[in-house]
Amino acid sequence: GAVVSQHPSWVICKSGTSVKIECRSLDFQATTMFWYRQFPKQSLMLMATSNEGSKATYEQGVEKDKFLINHASLTLSTLTVTSAHPEDSSFYICSARQPGRGEQYFGPGTRLTVT
Amino acid sequence: DAKTTQPNSMESNEEEPVHLPCNHSTISGTDYIHWYRQLPSQGPEYVIHGLTSNVNNRMASLAIAEDRKSSTLILHRATLRDAAVYYCIFDNFNKFYFGSGTKLNVKP
């Protein structure tokens, strides 16, 4: 149980375009989902917390107008990278938390390359 | 950000036990201690978590110091598949702030 999927697993886009990444909890309902970014040979950095039915809360230094997060249902959160630039190229990972549980279950990640 | 301190890397021989240490001196009384591991180009995988008492599951054991300022993840018999980066994290207002982790190398 506790499976989280992401789509797509990798994406290449041109500079200036937007790209949407989906995160789904497949076998449980997640009131809270999280988005992380990981650059090569670095650790995961928390970007934002996504709560179902309300606005996401962003970590300090993360541009909320650039990284749009929507959590429209208990099983789906989306991250849209708007006007992507090469420096946005990274590994984006989501996680989901079951209500009342402390552990997070992570998706397999999405590799974004902006050319 | 919630701070944890782990050795950058450790090495183990296959079939031998591995003890991965973590210091979390700023942990508060209600923060759980979580351990995850990550293979290259994959999302982190849950290993174990605990609050005060030592915990066991099919993957590993977690030994928590009495003052909760440190913990140790124990892999009882390391296999080649256990080679990964291991992260020790504690909940900070239900958020995870990852440290740099310990890269575990398992030698055959």
| Digit-coded pLDDT (tens) for B58-74 | 999 999 999 999 999 99
pLDDT at A39: 96
- Strand-pairing partners, residue B5, are B23
Q: Report whether pLDDT(A48) > 90.
A: yes
Q: In angstroms, what separates the C-alpha of B14 from chain A's closest C-alpha?
A: 25
A9: pLDDT strictly greater than 90: yes
Q: Do B96 and A103 touch (CB under 8 A)?
A: no
Given A45, A97, A108, which is nearest B43 (Cβ)? A108
Q: B7 CB near a chain A CB, below 8 Å? A: no
Instruction: Write the pLDDT tens digit of every residue in A98-112.
Output: 877 888 999 999 999
Of B27 and B15, the structure prediction assigns the larger pLDDT to: B15
Residue B2: pLDDT over 70: no
- Tell how strand A10-13 and strand A110-114 pair up: parallel
Distance CA A67, CA A47 (A): 9
Where does the pLDDT of residue B77 fall: very low under 50, low under 70, confident under 90, or very high at 90 and above?
very high
Three-state secondary structure call for residue B80: helix
How far B84 CA lies from chain A's nearest CA (Å)?
13
Question: In angstroms, what separates the C-alpha of A22 from chain B's closest C-alpha?
Answer: 14
**Token pair belonging to A109:** 């990640």
Above 80 in pLDDT, residue B14?
Answer: yes
The predicted structure's pLDDT at residue A103? 86
Other C-beta atoms lying within 10 Å of the C-beta of residue A8: 13
In sequence order, the 6+-apart residues with CB closer than 8 A to the CB of B101 are A43, B6, B38, B85, B86, B87, B88
pLDDT of B85 higher than 90? yes
| B50 near A CB under 8 A | no
Tell me if chain A has a CB within 8 Å of the CB of B91: yes
Q: What is the mean pLDDT of chain A?
A: 94
Contacts of B64 (CB under 8 A, 6+ apart): B33, B50, B51, B52, B53, B54, B55, B71
Q: Do A107 and B32 touch (CB under 8 A)?
A: no
End-to-end CA distance of chain B: 37
Give the mean model confidence (pLDDT) for residues A35-60: 93
**B42 at the A interface (CB within 8 A)?**
yes
Identity of the residue in B46, B87, B97 whose CB atom sits nearest the CB atom of A105: B46
Give the minimum alpha-carbon distance from A82 to chain B in angstroms, rounded to a whole number.
Answer: 23
| pLDDT bucket at B1, cuts 50 / 70 / 90 | low
Closest residue by Cα to residue B4 from B56, B79, B72: B72
